[in-house]
Structure 1
Amino acid sequence: MNTLDAIRARRAVKHYDPAFTIPKEELEQLIDLAMQSPSSFNIQHWRLVNVTDPKIRMQLRAAAHDQAQVTDGSLLFVVCTDLKAWEKDPQRYWVNAPKEAQDILVPWINPFYAGNEQLQRDEAMRSVGILLQTMMLSAKAMGYDSCPMIGFDSDKVGQIIKLPKNYAVGAMLVVGKGIQSAWPKPGFISKTEMLIENHF
């Protein structure tokens, strides 16, 4: 499936075949595609907790208001973000870039983020959102369905996965073989409301 078709076909599917398992090589492909996502200063704030333990899945389902896709999907990721990734050896994010790019961009990272916790969180969450979209479109292109989720007790989820200090839970993402189509897309705001030219 090409990208344009995947964008139009992707839906948040809630019902999955619990007996279906995505092959390991396709999981690896999905992760490789996720790694292609852009992020601010190439910091790659995201951390994916791939939940394979059925007992932990059940705990997460309870924390997610008993939504069945948490246990029924082939894959369940708790998509987290490292809020302090910007200060963790930032040179490594630019190791393959030309030296002139490294010399300009790496020294910018600390002054850009230091002392501004709101910006640190905003950029980390933006990166999570970009990663989620990359993974959902990749899954669709691979013939799978997905469901991004924020309907859960974030603190409880953090406790279950033993979230480290200075990390945050951004969302959960289910990927698998859908067995029931989503309803038609519920509606769009008008393009005239969405698109503002030059200024409000």
Structure 2
Amino acid sequence: MNTHDAIEARRAVKHYDPNFVMSDTDIDRLMDLTLLSPTSFNIQHWRFVLVRDNELKQQLRAAAWDQAQVTDANLTILVCADLKAWGKEPERYWRNAPQQTQDMLVPMISGFYSQAGPQMERDEAMRSVGIASQTLMLAAKAMGYDSCPMIGFDPVKVAEIIGLPDEHVIGLMITVGKALKPAHSRGGQLTKDEVVFIDRFPS
């Protein structure tokens, strides 16, 4: 499936075949593709918790308003971010770059984020989580799988279940598997005139 087809075919699927099992090879491939997502300064601060244990998935379902896709989908993924990744051996984010590039960019990371403050850290985390999540869902669709992005859960309880470390945040939950039945038809797309503007917002 090409990129255009994956974009058009991807839908938020709520009903999954609970007996379907993704291969480890496909799961690895899915995450390899997801990890190609861009991040500011290449700090790669997203963190992915792939929940496969049935008991843990039951706990997550209870913390997610009893939504069945949490347990029925083969994978339930918590897309998180480390707010302080920028300060953790930042030279490793550019270790394969030419030395001149490393010498320029690595000091810029600390210089930028040490001044940016907690709001910028969180904003960057949410941007990166969003980009990576869309990459993950499109990659899943291209591989023949279905997905559903979710924000309907208790973040405090979910953080406890997955052992979220300090200075980390949860962006969203994504289920991945095989649809048991198709998603509902699209609810209603706004026209381009309402959401796309040239050069500036209309007055």
TM-score (norm 1): 0.97
Aligned partner letter, 2:148:
C
Aligned to 2:120: 119
SS in 2 for 1:178: coil
For 1:116-155, what aligned pairs fall within 5 Å after superposition?
116-155=117-156
Could you tell me how far apart the structure 1 residues matched to 2:25 and 2:156 are?
Answer: 33
Shift of 1:106: 1.2
What do residues 73-94 of structure 1 show as CA deviations (whole Å, max 9, x unaligned)? 0111111110100110111001
Check conservation: 2:75, 2:177, Cα contact below 8 A: yes
Alignment check: 8 A CA contact 2:73 2:177 kept: yes
Task: Tell me the secondary structure at the aligned position of residue 180 of structure 2.
Answer: strand
What code does the residue aligned with 2:176 have?
V
Q: CA deviation at 1:132?
A: 0.4
Who is 2:172 aligned against? 171
Residues 147-168 of structure 1: per-residue CA shift (max 9 Å, x gap): 1111101111001111110001
- Distance in 2, matches of 1:57 and 1:46, equals 21
Counterpart AA for 1:44: Q
Which amino acid letter does the alignment assign opposite residue 191 of structure 1?
A: K
Other structure's SS at 1:174 match: strand
Q: Equivalences for 1:45-124 in 2 at 5 Å?
A: 45-115=45-115, 116-124=117-125
Matched pairs, number: 200
Q: What amino acid is aligned across from residue 81 of structure 1 in structure 2?
A: A
How much has 1:62 moved relative to structure 2? 0.5
SS of the residue aligned with 2:49?
Answer: strand
Structure 1 equivalent of residue 34 of structure 2 = 34
Give me the whole-angstrom Cα distance separating, in 1, the residues matched to 2:99 and 2:192.
43
Local SS of the residue matching 2:165: coil
In structure 2, what is the Cα distance between the partners aligned to 1:134 and 1:100?
A: 31
Aligned-pair CA distance for 1:199? 2.0
- 1:112 corresponds to which letter in structure 2? F
Amino acid paired to 2:88: K
Identity %: 58
> CA–CA distance in 1 between the matches of 2:118 and 2:111?
12
